[in-house]
Every structure is written in C-alpha cells, then in structure tokens.
C-alpha cells in the first residue's frame, strides 16, 4: 500500500468542549493504553476517509507508525498527528469534514470512558442500557427536542455495484425533495448514496440545515471509514448500542441490497418489531432496490418467511425499482408515526416506547465457542430466533472485516454455525447467494474464503 504522510497539529472548531487534565491523561498512551489505542484506530480510519480499503488490519498495518498526541491547553485541546495520511489535507490544511469527525470521535470516546465510571450508569438492566444510549446521543447533540419526525435510516451494503449505488442516490434524492433527513452507518456504498442524493435535493429545496447523521462503532469504523457528507458523526461503544441508536432516533427504515451486515441489521429490527409489546407501534420499513437486485430482495424475503414466518414479513413492504414510491410510502408512514407519538405523548427525538429486550442489547462476542452454541431452531419464539440469527450474522461480519475476528479465523479456522435443518438450509442458501453475488467483500478482490461452516 503506497503512503503519503504528514505531521500536523490541529485544534477543534466548535465541535468539542475542553477536556480536563484527567481526560487527557485517560487518552494519553501512559494514562490508558486501551483508550489511546481505540482513539488512534478511529482517528486513522477517519483520516482514511475515501480510501478503497475494506480491511481494518490492512489499514492498521499500513500506518503502524501513525501517532496521535493529545495536548491540554488553557484554551482547549490540541491534537498532534504524526505520519498521518496526506489525503486528509489540502495545501497543509485538514479538510473541514475530516476535522469535525476527528473531534467527534475524541468527544465520544472520552465521554464513553468517563461515563462508564459514573454511579448513575446501570448496564445491568435493559432500562439502564437504553438510558446510557440516550445520554451518549444527547452528549453528541444528536437529539433535537421538538423537531418533526423525519429521520430516515438507510441500511445496506458498503460494497454494492454501480447500478445499486445509483439507485440509492435516486431514493435519497426523492427523500430529500420531501424534506426528510438521512441517517446511515456513515461509510461508503448504501451509507453514502442516499446522503449524496438528499444533499442535492436539499439544495434544490433551499434546505440549509439538512441532517446527515452517521452512527458507527470502533470495531466497524476502520472497515467503513465515514463518508465526507456526514455532518453529525456519533461513535457508539459497541454494535448493539449502535443498532439501538438507529431504532431510537430513526422514524422509519429503508433497507437496500447488501450482505451479511445488512441481514444482521434487518434481523435485529425484525426481532424487535416481532416482540408482542411492539405490536401496535408504527415503524415504517421498506425493502428496496433496482430491478437487477430483485432476486436478492426476494431471497431475503423468502429467508424471513422460511425462518421467522409470515408475521415477520408483515412488518415491512418490498418495493422494486421505484424511488418515488419508496419516498411517498415512507412519508405516509412518518405521518402515522407522528400522530401515534402525539397521542401517546412520546418524544419525537427518541423512541422511548419501543420495547427492546436485554438479549438485543448485550454485546455478542463472536468466539468460536459462542458461535457454535447459538440456538437456531424453529421452536423458539420468533423474536428470540431473530436475535440468535442476528448474532450468527454478526459473527460472520466480524470474521470478514473486523481485525479481532480476522485474527481469530486465522488462528482457529472457520466458525461452525449449528442448528436444525429447517433454519440451517435457508441460512446456507442465503449465504451462498451472498458469496455468488460478491456481497461478502469488495468486488474485484481475492476469491472469498468463507469464515464460517454451516452444520445441521
């Protein structure tokens, strides 16, 4: 990997409160090695925004000598970056969006670490975890009380083909023309396309404060560096708090073509919506893509039917090759959400009424033992089976792109995913389709070697 690097010093521009001496010590290499290592990894990913690299390990190894030094000053904090990727700068000045996101990462990592020691944080209960997610989002100034419910979450693959990417831009454009805001996982592909389309539409409608919210987590950020359109970046501590943030701040969700990561998000969402306590709660969900992606959408729809049943299929609609209809249906759905929340006196900015069980909130560590012991049988309640299927896909994502997961596969071989044939056969069929359609890795790379083995 060819490198051009720079040594620079940068300060925040209205994106971070001053840090205390204790917080700087916490972030420094001497104060807390793990916290420094985490911020260094996130910073390196942000500085690599736009690079076509899909592997955390590759980025970390290419910039082994990259360093961040944090200096506390009377007037605030200053970052000294050594051997930083030169693409993050223009004529020696850091690109504004990169600078904003760099200090957003610093803000979130400092706050996450300092909050964990707070006596009011209770991570032993479901309510306590939700409260923690709320505080993380509030500290990032993501929650806007009184704002209309118009935040549309877009999920999908980061390595989709050109036709699918153009389709996401068209959908984003139709959403933007209807004054809707966009929230994504903040990386490339589906995480960028809808934002790009909405940006142009917002300009046409003379909307100057359009929101392009990106939610990520440290294990994913290196593989999916934020795209430069994101104007609000939040780094949550783990994948489960990231997923909860999507469904708490989003008012509706659009799912585009993707791979295992998209299937993971879709199953997480269905598992929540299938909970009996959420039966009456309106939450518009649309599965969509261009005509060429129809087989993918139908495969995913069939997989849901085969494993979770018709009740799960009723929680979303499938729209093929019609961006305007997607935006119209979403706008109608958001009106229902608005009316429902007004009647129940629920906040527009945070979906407190949505019931999320603790099993959806607890971080899943995809060790070989944990992956092999997942319960994947049809006799489980649908929302519990969805939770376990989501964990299986989470492990595959880790084995594909996360540094820790890649190293585990290198050391111990592929994961074994076990379960009854009625669940394993549709799962194996779906995963095979992902491989054949190049939905596991960036197209054009090396032949995909599965990090899993399905066992019935």
pLDDT in tens, 393-409: 888 888 877 778 888 98
**Full-model pTM:** 0.87
Nearest CA-CA partner of 10 in 83, 84, 94: 94
Higher pLDDT, 77 or 417: 417
Q: What pLDDT, on the 0 to 100 scale, is given for residue 380?
A: 92
Q: Is the pLDDT of residue 14 over 60?
A: no
Q: What is the DSSP letter of 190?
A: G
The CA distance from 317 to 286, in Å, is: 5
Q: What pLDDT, on the 0 to 100 scale, is given for residue 163?
A: 96
pLDDT in tens, 241-267: 999 999 999 999 999 999 888 888 999
Tell me if 97 sits within 8 A of 108, measured CB to CB. Answer: no
Give burial (CB, 10 Å; 0-12/13-18/19+) of 250: buried
Partners of 94 in the beta sheet? 89
What's the alpha-carbon Rg for the chain, to the nearest Å? 21
- Mean predicted confidence (pLDDT) in 62-66: 82
| Confidence band, pLDDT 50/70/90 cuts, at residue 36 | confident
Q: What pLDDT, on the 0 to 100 scale, is given for residue 31?
A: 46
∠ CA 229-232-237 to the nearest 5 degrees?
Answer: 120
The CA distance from 153 to 256, in Å, is: 11
The CA distance from 181 to 199, in Å, is: 9
Q: What pLDDT, on the 0 to 100 scale, is given for residue 225?
A: 81
Q: What is the mean pLDDT of the chain?
A: 87
φ/ψ of 10, rounded to 5, equals -135, 150
pLDDT in tens, 146-162: 889 999 999 998 878 99
Q: Which residues contact 280 (CB under 8 A, 6 or more apart)?
A: none
Q: Is the pLDDT of residue 2 over 60?
A: no
The CA distance from 130 to 122, in Å, is: 10
Q: Strand ranges (DSSP E) for 18-88? A: 67-73, 76-85
pLDDT in tens, 321-368: 999 999 999 999 999 999 999 999 999 999 999 999 988 898 888 899
Pairing type for strands 181-184 and 212-216 reads parallel
Q: Is the pLDDT of residue 19 over 70?
A: no
Higher pLDDT, 214 or 94: 214
The CA distance from 404 to 314, in Å, is: 37
The CA distance from 164 to 132, in Å, is: 36
Going from the N-terminus, what domains does the chain have, and what CATH number goes with each? Answer: 5-115 (3.30.1850.10), 148-344 (3.40.50.450), 358-455 (no CATH)
Q: What pLDDT, on the 0 to 100 scale, is given for residue 342?
A: 93
The CA distance from 408 to 300, in Å, is: 28
Q: What pLDDT, on the 0 to 100 scale, is given for residue 178?
A: 97
- Is 29 in a helix, a strand, or coil? coil
Q: Strand ranges (DSSP E) for 108-199? A: 151-155, 181-184
| Of 143-147, 183-187, 213-217, the least confident | 143-147
How much of the chain, in percent, has pLDDT values that exceed 90?
A: 48
Any idea how long the chain is?
A: 456
| Confidence band, pLDDT 50/70/90 cuts, at residue 442 | very low
Q: Is the pLDDT of residue 16 over 60?
A: no
∠ CA 140-352-350 to the nearest 5 degrees?
Answer: 35
The CA distance from 441 to 448, in Å, is: 7
């Amino acid at each position: 990997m060819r490198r051009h690097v720079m040594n620079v010093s940068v300060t925040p521009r209205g994106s971070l409160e001053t840090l205390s001496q204790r917080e700087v010590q916490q972030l420094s290499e001497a104060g807390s090695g793990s916290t420094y290592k985490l911020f260094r990894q996130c910073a390196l990913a942000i500085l690599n925004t736009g690079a076509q690299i899909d592997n955390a390990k590759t980025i970390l190894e290419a910039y082994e000598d990259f360093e961040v030094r944090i200096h506390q000053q009377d007037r605030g904090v200053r970052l000294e970056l050594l051997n930083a990727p030169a693409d993050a700068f223009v004529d020696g000045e850091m690109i504004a969006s990169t600078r904003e996101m760099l200090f957003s990462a610093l803000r979130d990592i400092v706050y996450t670490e300092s909050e964990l020691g707070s006596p009011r944080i209770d991570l032993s209960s479901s309510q306590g975890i939700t409260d923690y997610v709320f505080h993380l989002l509030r500290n990032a100034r993501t929650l806007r009380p009184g704002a209309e419910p118009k935040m549309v979450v877009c999920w999908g693959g980061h390595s989709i083909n050109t036709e699918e990417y153009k389709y996401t831009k068209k959908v984003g454009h139709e959403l933007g023309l209807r004054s809707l805001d966009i929230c994504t996982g903040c990386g490339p592909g589906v995480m960028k396309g809808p934002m790009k389309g909405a940006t142009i539409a917002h300009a046409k409608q003379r909307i100057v404060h359009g929101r392009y919210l990106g939610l990520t987590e440290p294990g994913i950020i290196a593989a999916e560096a934020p795209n430069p359109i994101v104007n609000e970046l939040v780094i949550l501590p783990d994948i489960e708090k990231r997923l909860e943030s999507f469904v708490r701040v989003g008012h509706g969700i659009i799912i585009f073509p993707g791979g295992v990561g998209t299937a993971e998000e879709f199953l997480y969402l269905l598992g929540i919506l299938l909970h009996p306590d959420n039966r009456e709660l309106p939450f518009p969900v649309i599965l969509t893509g261009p005509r060429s992606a129809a087989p993918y959408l139908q495969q995913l729809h069939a997989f849901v039917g085969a494993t979770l049943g018709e009740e799960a299929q009723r929680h979303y609609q499938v729209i093929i090759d019609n961006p305007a209809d997607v935006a119209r249906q979403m706008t109608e759905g958001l009106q229902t959400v608005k009316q429902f929340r007004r009647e129940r006196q629920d906040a527009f900015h945070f979906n407190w009424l949505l019931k999320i069980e603790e099993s959806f909130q607890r971080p899943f560590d995809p060790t070989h033992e944990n992956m092999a012991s997942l319960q994947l049988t049809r006799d489980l309640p649908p929302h519990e089976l969805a939770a376990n299927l989501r964990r299986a896909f989470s492990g595959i994502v880790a084995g594909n792109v996360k540094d820790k997961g890649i190293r585990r596969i290198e050391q111990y071989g592929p994961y074994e995913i076990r379960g009854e044939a009625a669940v394993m056969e549709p799962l194996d069929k779906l995963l095979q389709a992902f491989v054949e359609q190049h939905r596991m890795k960036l197209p054009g790379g090396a032949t995909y070697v599965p990090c899993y083995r399905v066992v019935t």
